[in-house]
Amino acid sequence: MRENERILIKIVKNGILRIDKKGQVWKCKRSHKEFCGDFENCKPVLKGYKDEHGYIRLDMWFAKLRKTIRSQAHRIVWIFHNGDIPEGLQINHKNGKKNDNRLRNLELVTPAENTIHALTVLNRKCGNRTRGKDRRGVHSKLSEEDVKQILRLLAEGLSAKEVAEQFPVTSARINQLRRVG
């Protein structure tokens, strides 16, 4: 668990913040004089907003400590209800809505499972800008079958460059799929 997440979970358990059934995080209406320990007389200010990737990000400013604690809301919701996120796993939003942090919409997955979910279930684009005359638009789309075929070709010993020539993506994208696959 990251240090900022550890602090925010402690804040939730101390009653300074609460997490509702919709996965929203709220600051409780309590006097800052009621806070104890590390947070005594801190007057915390909670700010939630969508980051550049569409996730809800929480910033909690502690004036007395002159410190901002920052984390993604879906990670705090998961950790609060289920405990730490194991190394190498991520939180996936099952319905693809990055601001829907209800516990039943969150699941632990590997990076590869997260990529495959984005490609197959959510029909998101996975690709990169292609170069030169073969360019087919800003993003190229790979189907689940394309991804499986790419991973098979890599397993057979073909280089990323050789595989990329068969699909409308760059060798960098092929290497990315190799790492998560």
pLDDT for residue 30: 61
Residue 138 pLDDT exceeds 50? no
At residue 176's C-alpha, the angle toward residues 175 and 181, to 5°, is 95
Domain boundaries 3-109, corresponding CATH code = 3.90.75.20
Mean pLDDT of the chain: 80
Model confidence at 17, pLDDT cuts 50, 70, 90, reads confident
Model confidence at 173, pLDDT cuts 50, 70, 90, reads confident
pLDDT for residue 90: 94
**Over residues 87-107, mean pLDDT:** 93
**Over residues 55-77, mean pLDDT:** 85
Segment 147-163, tens digit of pLDDT: 889 989 999 999 999 98
Supply the pTM of this predicted model. Answer: 0.63
pLDDT for residue 157: 92
Percent of the chain with pLDDT over 90: 27
Q: Answer yes or no: are the C-beta atoms of 42 and 35 closer than 8 Å.
A: yes
Domain ranges of the chain: 3-109, 112-180
Segment 99-137, tens digit of pLDDT: 999 999 999 999 888 888 888 777 766 554 444 444 443
Query: Which phi-psi region, left, alpha or beta, contains residue 15 (left: φ > 0; alpha: ψ -120 to 50)?
Result: left
pLDDT for residue 107: 95
